[in-house]
């Protein structure tokens, strides 16, 4: 496994500044957010100018891109066109994992299966893996629903964020049945009442999770996904979780 951090940890900054921050904190691998509503790369910009997006990803301040996290707001065929462009970007930059949100709660199950099947099919052309991310307020907030989706969509995986199963409405139900589907991992520290707390003050059992993933032959990324907290030294938290995650690897 390798340790990385998401540019979403510094979502208020420009992409070059966020990358520089992570490099200064001694991260060597990065997940780049491609979010139409964010400050970094936008899906529409990737589709409209792939060469420019490629240049930005290659100029990553000594960091190696290892994953992309998407938020595409376009609808209809434009949604799939933007997704396909990002898959081409991933292929050229040798990134093999893309994270997408699952549908919002209330979406018909069959419609979500059809959407995910089409996305996995598009990504497979470029050899890219697609994982839905654990997320409160979406279909993936329920571990059982995730398992059913992955069983119904051949090739679909999970970006596991255990915080959303510790703090969310399905807390206490466990997610061990999902470990075989994991393509990518997002990590912070959490309690049953707070999605994020200071590293070391929550209930995430990092060592246990590492061992569980190892038993399922997971050999990809452990990605810090920590948001700034008021009154807390964010750089200190980012440094702390890097050291913690790196300690698991040795």
Contacts of 131 (CB under 8 A, 6+ apart): 97, 98, 99, 100, 156, 157, 158, 159, 181, 182, 183, 184
The rounded radius of gyration (Å) of the Cα atoms in the chain is 17
Q: What is the pLDDT of residue 114?
A: 97
Give burial (CB, 10 Å; 0-12/13-18/19+) of 83.
Answer: buried
| 209 vs 62, residue with greater confidence | 209
Eight-state DSSP code of residue 197: B
Q: What is the pLDDT of residue 95?
A: 95
Is residue 108 within 8 A of residue 116, CB to CB? The reply is no
- Beta strands 157-160 and 221-224 are unpaired
- Beta strands 64-71 and 29-35 are parallel
Q: What is the pLDDT of residue 139?
A: 96
Q: What is the pLDDT of residue 72?
A: 96
Q: What is the pLDDT of residue 161?
A: 96
Alpha-carbon gap, residue 234 to 199, rounded angstroms: 11
Res 61 pLDDT > 80: no
Give the pLDDT band (50/70/90) at residue 62: confident
User: How large is the average pLDDT for residues 208-232?
Assistant: 95
What SS3 state is found at 24?
helix
User: How large is the average pLDDT for residues 127-131?
Assistant: 97
Positive or negative: CA dihedral 33, 39, 42, 46: negative
Res 173 pLDDT > 90: no
User: How large is the average pLDDT for residues 48-65?
Assistant: 88
The count of C-alpha atoms lying within 13 angstroms of the C-alpha of 244, restricted to the half-sphere facing its C-beta, is 22
User: How large is the average pLDDT for residues 75-101?
Assistant: 96
User: How large is the average pLDDT for residues 171-191?
Assistant: 93
Give the pLDDT band (50/70/90) at residue 40: confident
Q: What is the pLDDT of residue 85?
A: 96
Q: What is the pLDDT of residue 60?
A: 76
Give the pLDDT band (50/70/90) at residue 171: confident
Give the pLDDT band (50/70/90) at residue 146: very high
Rounded (10°) CA dihedral 192, 198, 201, 206: 80
What domains can you pick out in the chain, each with its CATH number? 2-248 (3.20.20.150)
- Tokens coding 235: 């750089």
Mean pLDDT of the chain: 94
User: How large is the average pLDDT for residues 75-96?
Assistant: 96
Q: What is the pLDDT of residue 33?
A: 96
Q: What is the pLDDT of residue 172?
A: 76
Give the pLDDT band (50/70/90) at residue 174: confident
Q: What is the pLDDT of residue 25?
A: 96
Give first-to-last CA distance, the chain, whole Å: 11
């Amino acid at each position: 496994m390798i340790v990385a951090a998401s540019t979403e940890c510094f979502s208020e900054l420009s992409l070059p500044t966020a990358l520089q921050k992570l490099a200064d904190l001694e991260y060597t691998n990065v997940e780049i957010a491609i979010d139409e509503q964010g400050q970094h790369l936008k899906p529409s910009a990737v589709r409209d100018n792939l060469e420019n997006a490629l240049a930005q990803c290659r100029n990553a301040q000594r960091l190696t891109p290892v994953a992309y996290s998407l938020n595409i707001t376009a609808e209809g065929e434009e949604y799939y066109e933007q997704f396909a462009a990002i898959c081409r970007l991933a292929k050229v930059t040798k990134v093999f994992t893309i994270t997408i949100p699952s549908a919002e709660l209330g979406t018909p199950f069959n419609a979500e299966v059809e959407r995910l099947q089409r996305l996995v099919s598009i990504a497979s052309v470029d050899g890219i893996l697609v994982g839905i991310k654990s997320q409160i307020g979406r279909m993936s907030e329920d571990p059982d629903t995730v398992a059913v989706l992955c069983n119904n969509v051949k090739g679909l995986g999970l970006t596991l964020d255990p915080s959303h199963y510790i703090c969310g409405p399905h807390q206490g139900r466990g997610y061990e049945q999902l470990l075989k589907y994991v393509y990518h991992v997002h990590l912070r520290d959490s309690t049953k009442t707070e999605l994020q707390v200071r590293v070391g003050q929550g209930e995430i059992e990092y060592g246990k999770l590492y061992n569980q993933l190892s038993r399922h032959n997971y050999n990809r990324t452990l990605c810090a996904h920590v948001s700034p907290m008021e009154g807390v030294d964010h750089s200190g938290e980012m440094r702390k979780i890097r050291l913690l995650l790196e300690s698991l690897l040795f």
